[in-house]
Amino acid sequence: MIAATITIGWMSGLFYGFSVSVMPGLRVAADRTAIETMQRINVAILNGWFLLGYIGALVFSAAAVALHATGSGGRDSLGPLIGALVAYLAAMGVTARINIPLNNALEQAGPVERIADPAAVRRAFEAPWVRANVWRAVLCTVSLGLLAWALVLH
> Do residues 57 and 4 make contact, with C-beta atoms less than 8 angstroms apart?
yes
CB-based contact 151:84 (threshold 8 Å): no
Model confidence, pTM:
0.94
Residues 4-33 have pLDDT tens digits of 999 999 999 999 999 999 999 999 999 999
Alpha carbons 20 and 15: distance in angstroms, whole number: 9
Asked whether the beta carbons of 29 and 75 are under 8 A apart, the reply is no
The pLDDT of residue 73 is 64
